Amino acid sequence: MVQIHELSAVEQYRLIQRRELGVLEAVDHYLDRIERLDPELGAFHTVTPGAARERARMLDAADDRTAPLWGLASADKDLARRAGVRTTFGSRLFEQFVPESTDALPTQLDAAGTVSLGKTATPEFGLASYTENHVAPPTRDPYDLALGPGGSSGGAAVAVAAGLLPFATGTDGGGSIRIPAAACGLVGLKPSRGLVPAGSGVDSLAGLPVAGPLARSVPDAAMLLDGMIARHGDRIQHPFTLRAPVDDDGAFLGAALRGEGRFQIGLTTWSPWDTAYDIRIEPEAQDALAVARDALVELGHGLEEFTPEAAPQYPDAFRVIWQVGAGTLPADDTNEHLLEPLTRWLMHRGRALPATDLAAALGTLSAFERSIIRQFDRYDAVLTPALAQTPRPIGWYDAEDGERNFEQQCQYTPFTSFVNVSGLPAISLPVHVTASGLPMGAQLIGRPGGESTLLSLARQLERRLRWDTRHPPQY
């Protein structure tokens, strides 16, 4: 007999619509799995069974079920406030903080009909690409508990991969959706800047972080993305969009289910970090890229290798943004001892930088954005590795030496941050399995507003490679 967590989010939604699956029944199933499995996985900082069951009963009793995610279980990344629920931001500075108001993204998910089961784990203030903090035990990759799932949406990725949730939202300011998706064998989509009103990136420093979905399949990711976007009739409302309109001739789920089209694809292993660090692509990452490349060619797509222009000013400029962002944290001499060493280092470096350095960095990244969009424009999508290395062991990152830590993060994830700087959409796909059973991903980068093209390509690959049938031992 098929268990609830073995059903896709799309299948669960259809069953709930037909009243063949109760919302409370599904919520109880996931809460039971969280209670049994999460102690060794560390996917959640906080679980809210009482509130989840109360909302599930309310949704079960409702007659109008037209909301796009009606009755589906999810969770909030622990960087988003939800009224009455402990929100730590992954930091001892807020370890017992309970907000009185709810942020925009959880509010939108409520309006779309989801049931939040709690708060998923994140590194301190989401600053790192791995999910280890001093608030809770480290979050562990369900494919190998000695390894980390990446970050900063590591808890969300582990929860979905291990069948503790059907899907989950994350945020991505330098790869924080795509990195844990690749490490945990999931589909992770970073939308175009401005697409998701409740996580647009437009109002943040350098426009980097946006909200997006993590899921086990392409249709599930598309369905969640639809639910994250406020709609009026059949038209997507994206009031913060900066550039080209999104492909809004239908829901993203439709594009994912159809999986149609033939496209011209560029392939590159270039990274703007090449001039700053020794970036080496491990054989497992090369194998994953080759699997994706060969499958796309066999599917009839055009493919051309190319190398973008060197960007020697990019590394220093991005580092400035990372440090200045940490410089705004609400810490001073009275409480900064609660921060982790890396966060303190970042904060002090950011506060010491002159305004002229920030202005120069913003100018450099703006020019870089225009350059990347120009160079990528001749392709419908660009294929890169998702990560340069296999998932890193717990404790691998240097917690004391900020410079070394930054270098390690860039060496593990050299292909993600420049997509945030460029404001482009990108999707990480689990295309390969290593000899030791670890998932490895590839990344497709789209044009501004090109999510439908990415979902179509991803669905074609999914049909061919069937990664949605692979699961970790806990599943």
Give the residue from 389, 355, 182, 193 showing the smallest Cα distance to 283: 389
β strands within 311-360, DSSP E: none
Cβ 181 vs Cβ 439: under 8 Å: no
Give the residue from 317, 318, 316, 346 showing the smallest Cα distance to 331: 346
Residues 6 or more apart whose Cβ sits within 8 Å of residue 396:
130, 148, 408
Domain membership flag for residue 475: no
Joined together, the tokens standing for residue 404 give 């070394």
Cβ 190 vs Cβ 212: under 8 Å: yes
Which of 74, 116, 129, 152 is labelled catalytic?
152
β strands within 16-142, DSSP E: 44-47, 73-77, 115-120
Give the residue from 192, 199, 243, 196 showing the smallest Cα distance to 420: 192
Number of domains in the chain: 1
DSSP string, 203-231: TSGGG--EEEEEESSHHHHHHHHHHHS-E
Q: How far is C-alpha 400 from the chain's CA centre?
A: 26
Containing 430, the helix (H) or strand (E) segment is strand 426-433
Give the residue from 120, 112, 49, 39 showing the smallest Cα distance to 78: 120
Residue 8 is a catalytic residue: no
**283 φψ region: left (φ > 0), alpha (ψ -120 to 50), beta (else):** alpha
Find the angle CA(161)-CA(212)-CA(133) to the nearest 5 degrees.
60
Cβ 186 vs Cβ 475: under 8 Å: no
Which of 74, 77, 119, 217 is labelled catalytic?
77
Domain membership flag for residue 77: yes
Burial of 256 (0-12, 13-18, 19+ CB in 10 A): buried
Q: How many Cα atoms within 13 Å fall on the side-chain side of residue 360?
A: 12
Burial of 288 (0-12, 13-18, 19+ CB in 10 A): buried
Domain membership flag for residue 474: no
Bridging pattern class, strands 381-385 and 264-267 = parallel
So what's the pLDDT on residue 98? Answer: 98
Residue 152 is a catalytic residue: yes
So what's the pLDDT on residue 232? Answer: 44
Containing 190, the helix (H) or strand (E) segment is strand 187-190
Find the domain containing 401 and state its range.
4-469
So what's the pLDDT on residue 474? Answer: 85
Domain membership flag for residue 304: yes
Q: Tell me the one-letter amino acid at 378.
A: R
Containing 300, the helix (H) or strand (E) segment is none
CA distance 337 to 356: 29
* pTM, 2 dp: 0.96
Residue 77 is a catalytic residue: yes
Task: Assign residue 422 the CATH number of its domain.
Answer: 3.90.1300.10
Per-residue tens of pLDDT for the chain, all 475 residues: 899 999 999 999 999 999 999 999 999 999 999 999 999 999 999 999 999 999 999 999 999 999 999 999 999 999 999 999 999 999 999 999 999 999 999 999 999 999 999 999 999 999 999 999 999 999 999 999 999 999 999 999 999 999 999 999 999 999 999 999 999 999 999 999 999 999 999 999 999 999 999 999 999 999 999 999 976 444 444 444 443 344 444 489 999 999 999 999 999 999 999 999 999 999 999 999 999 999 999 999 999 999 999 999 999 999 999 999 999 999 999 999 999 999 999 999 999 999 999 999 999 999 999 999 999 999 999 999 999 999 999 999 999 999 999 999 999 999 999 999 999 999 999 999 999 999 999 999 999 999 999 999 999 999 999 999 999 998 8
Domain membership flag for residue 203: yes
Which of 116, 176, 192, 200 is labelled catalytic?
176
Unique residue bearing structure tokens 């089961």: 117
Bridge partners of 302?
A: 264
So what's the pLDDT on residue 241? Answer: 42
